[in-house]
Structure formats: structure tokens, C-alpha cells
């Protein structure tokens, strides 16, 4: 029986080691860093750098995510992961140690921990209800593995070697600066006699000065020499350890080792998600589609939510939908009103959905895109003699050259460095090309004219409180762009409202 991957039914996972270009603009670099921060040894980032291209694999992962909402299953897998960490630590220690039997002893301990870990995992999984193809296939594989002759023989031998070594008893004789080792022949253990003698003087709880030698991984040359003498006294017993070490160098099963790493993709994300859910924010497994009708309800910027997860500040959620011919959301409204946050959120949703992960929101239907292109405003580089406008045009040209109808484009405050007339002209030219491409897009702009460009554009506006235009609600709603809130805010800022002017003109 074979098992390939918990990330893909057909082992189609390619690990991209390079961060996607859209990550910094969408703050996904912050999100993925936070998700993987506590799992550095697993090297999970390549999984998060590789969005999926087919619905079948996305649904395969979503089913695993759904199974992992079972708290008992999650606890079992975390316990297994902790034990596998010990296995790797012991094996790494064994490789580094200098003395032969010390090295072989830690190797034996690694084998015993591994045997215990996979056995307990198999026993637990049998009693847990599973529905995902991935976890069902792994459970079947593990059950078959545990009952296979090679594993049973390996585990039985490891236990027998351990029991054989534990039965060894010997004496160390220290005399005139020399160390002698001989078999134990029933001599009195004076340490026990001393304890009995002084036990009557014990009053209440006292500090324990015993040293747990089993926790120490070091061995000096004297201890190593003593161990060599013991091995000479018990050659047959130590020969079993030698044999076990030689014959089981690669005892960790490759499929189980791969599962141990790949399951952390799910665990790390769900642990990260749980922190934000404690703030009362919703997540859902989206319906990922290839037809162009999308929506999301009560969704939010994941990077912002993570930053504020311990703060009392409320995270404002938003809704959106695009139906039939609608393709481009044009967002206008006052500055600092949440427009850029909304644009980032739109990109995050589609990227995370393409990983097979839950997304922020009560419910969502999202498009399976082939790539996300972003153009966010950058500070002008004084070393670039071509100027900011040229740089903007060059970047947008590259996006349009590479984008397809299956791409998602997110543009934020484009052409803010040029005149109003030029910005309108250039923006409409680019918007026409995006419209011809028929790609989904979010365009954050100060140009209200773009919101009614054609039947594919939808106007959304960042709103302010009705009784105070200077106070933002951070709600982005579908409504015509009128620029009134922005104009009123500017007028108030410069004390140019009718009321303020009248007050200034009074004698």
C-alpha cells in the first residue's frame, strides 16, 4: 500500500522557494511569516509560496482542513509531531557524538520513540471519525505499515535490545587514581543504606540534589572508557546494539516522515487562525470556482487582524460581490478610509483560497486565478533618473503583458504623481485594456470618473460618519462615487466650509 502526500491526492506539489511578487503589496509576507514562525524546522514557506491550479486539489485540502476542526484529532497530531521532534533531535545527537556506544545508545532511543509515536498515532486514528480522502488514505497506510512484518520485527528488536541492556549490572571500583570495572555480584548498594540511615532526620519537603544523568547527552572520556569496559564484560549484549545500529540506519518511513512535515501546513494555519477567531472574527472554507461570479461577506484584512489581535480596537468587516459582466471594483472616497486595506483583503482572499485554506469571512465564493498582479505606490527612487511616472507605466505595462483573463489585478493609487488630466487619460486607457482582458480587478483611485467607465466597472466608496465627515467608518460600500465626503473633509481641514468662513468673516 502506498501513500504519497497529505497536500495532494496525486503528488502534484511543486515547492516554490521564491516568495511571489505580490506578497509585499498584499502584506502576505507578514501573514506567512506569522503562520510559520513557530514551525521553522519544517520549512513550510515553500508550501505557502505555491498556490494551486486545480479545483480538485483545493477541495482535497479543504476536506483535510474540515477534519482538523476535530479537537481530539488536532491534539493527537500535535502529540505525534512532538514525538517526531524528539526522534530527529536524538538522531542528530547520535550523528554528532564521538563515542561509539554513546552514539548507538541515542540511536536506539530515537528508534524506540519513533516506534511509540507511530503506534500511538495509528491506534488513535482508528478511533477517530475521518471524512477527507487525505487523512483516510494516510490512516489506511499507517495501519498497514504498523502490521507489516518489517516494522513489527524492527520494533520488537529495538525493545529487546533495550531490555537486554537494562539488565546489565556492573561495579566501578575507584582506588589510588585508577578505575576498575567488573560484573555485579550482589554487593551491597551503599547509597541505599546511606539514604535509609539519614531518612529519620528528614523534616518536611527538602531540596532534591539528585542529578538525573539520563537527561545529559554529554559523556567525557572517562565515562566512555568505563562503557567500553562494560561492553567487554558483556560482549553479547552489546553485539545486539551494534547489530541494530548497523541494520536500521534508515528506520524512519519516508511517507510518514513526509506526512509529519506536510500536516504542519494545516496545523500552523489553523493555529494562526484560532488566535484571530478569539477576537470574534469569522473564517470559512470558500467555494472556489472557475466561473466569474464571486462574493464574500464579513471579510477583513488578515494581516491587520493579526497585528491587532491583542488590541481592543475593533476590526471592521466588509462585503463585496461581482456578478455577470461585472469585473472591476473601483474604490474611491476619503483618504485613510480603508480603501487600500480593502484592496489588500481582496488579493489575500484569492491567494489563500488557491492554497486550499480557510479565508476571513462568514462565507465566500472566490475565483481560481492563475496569478495575482499588484501595483501599489512606491516611494520615488532618486537613483532612477526616468522618474516616477515612467516607472508606473513600465510596471503596469509588464502586468498587462503577462496577465490573462484568469488573473486578478490590484492597482492602488496609480498616477498620483502626474496632473489630473493626464491621470484620467492614462487610467482610462489602462482600464480599457483590463476590461478587454476580462480579468477581475480592484482599482483604488482618487479619480471618480473611473467608477462609471463601462458596464464591467462597479463603484465602491469608503464611507464617513453622517454627522462627522472627518471620522471614517472603514466600511466600503457599493454606491456611486461623488467625492463629497472627500471634498468636505478637505474643506474642514483648511477651515473653508461655509460655517467656518462665516465665522471668520464676523466682526
List, for residues 21-51, the tens digit of each pLDDT value.
999 999 999 999 999 999 999 999 999 999 9
Q: What's the confidence (pLDDT) of residue 336? A: 84
Task: Kindly state whether residues 284 and 264 are assigned to the same domain.
Answer: no
List, for residues 94-114, the tens digit of each pLDDT value.
998 888 888 999 999 999 999
Place of cell 501599489: 376
In a domain, 270, yes or no: yes
- Secondary structure of 27-94 in HEC code, one letter for each residue: CHHHHHHHHHHHHHHHCCHHHHCCCCCCHHHHHHHHHHHHHCCCHHHHHHHHHHHHHHHHHHHHHHHH
Residue 440 in grid coordinates: 477581475
d(CA 134, CA 121): 15
In a domain, 499, yes or no: yes
Task: Kindly state whether residues 132 and 239 are assigned to the same domain.
Answer: yes
| 319 three-class SS | strand
Task: Kindly state whether residues 248 and 326 are assigned to the same domain.
Answer: no
For residue 316, the domain's CATH number is: 3.40.50.300
Chosen domain end from 234, 254, 278: 278
Task: Kindly state whether residues 265 and 295 are assigned to the same domain.
Answer: no
d(CA 415, CA 431): 13
Task: Kindly state whether residues 407 and 473 are assigned to the same domain.
Answer: yes
List, for residues 146-173, the tens digit of each pLDDT value.
999 999 999 999 999 999 999 888 888 8
Which residue segment(s) compose the domain that 366 sits in? Answer: 280-505
Q: What is the number of domains present in the chain?
A: 2
Strand blocks (E) in 205-305: 283-284, 287-289, 294-299
In a domain, 24, yes or no: no
Please state, for a pLDDT cut of 90, what percent of the chain lies above it: 63
Write phi, then psi, for 467 (nearest 5 degrees).
-95, 0
Q: In sequence order, what DSSP letters do the residues of 111-137 get, joined into one string? A: HHHHHHHHHHHHHHHHTS----HHHHH
Q: What's the confidence (pLDDT) of residue 1? A: 63
Task: Kindly state whether residues 332 and 433 are assigned to the same domain.
Answer: yes
Task: Kindly state whether residues 343 and 378 are assigned to the same domain.
Answer: yes
Task: Kindly state whether residues 271 and 286 are assigned to the same domain.
Answer: no
Beta strands 283-284 and 440-444 are unpaired
List, for residues 74-96, the tens digit of each pLDDT value.
999 999 999 999 999 999 999 98
d(CA 77, CA 299): 30
In a domain, 395, yes or no: yes
Q: In sequence order, what DSSP letters do the residues of 181-206 get, joined into one string? A: EEE--S---HHHHHHHHHGGG--SS-
Task: Kindly state whether residues 230 and 363 are assigned to the same domain.
Answer: no
What count of Cα atoms within 13 Å lies in the side-chain half-sphere of residue 150?
Answer: 8
Chosen domain end from 230, 255, 278: 278
In a domain, 29, yes or no: no
Chosen domain end from 247, 262, 278: 278
In a domain, 12, yes or no: no
List, for residues 454-504, the tens digit of each pLDDT value.
999 999 999 888 777 667 888 999 999 876 655 666 676 667 778 888 888
Task: Kindly state whether residues 231 and 313 are assigned to the same domain.
Answer: no
Task: Kindly state whether residues 413 and 473 are assigned to the same domain.
Answer: yes
Examine the pLDDT at 220 and tell me if it is beyond 70.
yes
In a domain, 452, yes or no: yes
Q: 478-507 burial string, b = 16+ CB within 10 Å, else e?
A: eeebeeebbebbeeeeeeeeeeeeeeeeee
Amino acid at each position: 500500500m502506498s501513500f504519497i502526500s497529505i497536500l495532494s491526492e496525486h503528488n502534484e506539489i511543486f515547492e516554490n522557494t521564491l516568495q511571489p511578487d505580490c506578497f509585499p503589496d498584499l502584506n502576505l509576507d507578514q501573514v506567512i511569516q506569522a503562520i510559520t514562525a513557530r514551525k521553522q524546522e519544517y520549512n513550510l514557506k515553500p508550501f505557502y509560496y505555491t498556490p494551486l491550479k486545480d479545483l480538485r486539489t483545493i477541495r482535497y485540502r479543504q476536506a483535510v482542513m474540515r477534519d482538523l476542526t476535530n479537537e481530539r484529532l488536532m491534539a493527537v497530531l500535535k502529540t505525534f509531531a512532538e514525538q517526531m521532534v524528539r526522534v530527529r533531535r536524538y538522531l542528530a545527537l547520535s550523528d554528532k557524538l564521538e563515542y561509539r556506544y554513546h552514539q548507538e545508545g541515542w540511536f536506539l532511543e530515537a528508534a524506540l520513540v519513533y516506534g511509540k509515536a507511530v503506534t500511538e498515532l495509528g491506534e488513535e486514528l482508528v478511533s477517530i471519525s475521518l471524512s477527507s480522502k487525505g487523512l483516510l488514505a494516510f490512516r489506511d497506510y499507517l495501519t498497514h505499515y504498523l502490521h507489516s512484518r518489517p516494522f513489527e520485527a524492527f520494533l520488537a528488536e529495538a525493545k529487546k535490545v533495550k531490555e537486554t541492556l537494562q539488565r546489565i549490572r556492573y561495579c566501578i571500583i575507584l582506588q589510588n587514581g585508577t578505575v576498575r570495572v567488573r560484573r555485579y555480584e550482589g554487593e551491597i548498594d551503599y547509597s541505599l543504606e546511606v539514604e535509609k540511615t539519614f531518612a529519620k532526620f528528614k523534616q518536611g519537603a527538602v531540596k532534591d540534589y539528585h542529578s538525573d544523568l539520563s537527561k545529559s547527552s554529554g559523556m567525557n572520556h572517562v565515562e566512555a572508557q568505563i562503557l567500553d569496559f562494560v561492553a567487554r564484560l558483556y560482549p553479547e549484549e552489546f553485539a545486539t546494539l551494534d547489530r541494530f545500529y548497523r541494520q536500521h540506519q534508515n528506520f524512519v518511513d519516508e511517507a510518514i516522515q513526509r506526512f509529519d512535515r506536510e500536516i504542519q501546513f494545516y496545523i500552523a494555519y489553523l493555529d494562526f487562525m484560532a488566535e484571530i477567531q478569539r477576537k470574534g472574527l469569522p473564517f470559512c472554507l470558500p467555494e472556489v470556482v472557475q466561473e466569474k461570479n464571486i462574493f464574500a461577506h464579513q471579510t477583513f484584512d488578515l494581516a491587520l487582524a493579526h497585528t491587532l489581535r491583542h488590541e481592543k480596537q475593533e476590526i471592521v468587516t466588509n462585503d463585496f460581490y461581482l456578478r455577470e459582466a461585472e469585473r472591476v471594483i473601483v474604490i474611491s472616497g476619503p483618504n485613510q478610509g480603508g480603501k487600500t486595506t480593502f484592496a489588500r483583503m481582496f488579493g489575500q482572499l484569492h491567494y489563500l483560497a488557491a492554497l486550499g485554506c480557510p479565508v476571513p469571512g462568514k462565507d465566500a465564493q472566490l475565483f481560481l486565478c492563475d496569478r495575482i498582479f499588484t501595483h501599489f505606490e512606491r516611494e520615488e527612487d532618486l537613483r532612477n533618473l526616468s522618474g516616477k511616472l515612467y516607472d508606473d507605466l513600465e510596471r503596469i505595462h509588464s502586468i498587462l503583458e503577462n496577465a490573462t483573463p484568469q488573473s486578478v489585478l490590484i492597482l492602488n493609487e496609480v498616477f498620483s504623481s502626474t496632473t489630473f488630466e493626464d491621470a484620467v487619460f492614462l487610467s482610462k486607457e489602462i482600464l480599457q485594456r483590463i476590461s478587454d482582458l476580462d480579468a477581475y480587478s480592484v482599482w483604488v483611485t482618487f479619480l471618480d470618473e473611473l467608477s462609471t467607465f463601462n458596464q464591467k466597472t462597479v463603484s465602491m466608496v469608503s464611507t464617513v460618519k453622517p454627522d462627522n465627515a472627518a471620522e471614517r467608518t472603514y466600511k466600503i460600500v457599493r454606491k456611486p462615487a461623488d467625492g463629497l465626503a472627500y471634498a468636505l473633509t478637505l474643506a474642514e481641514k483648511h477651515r473653508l466650509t461655509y460655517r467656518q468662513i462665516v465665522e471668520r468673516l464676523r466682526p
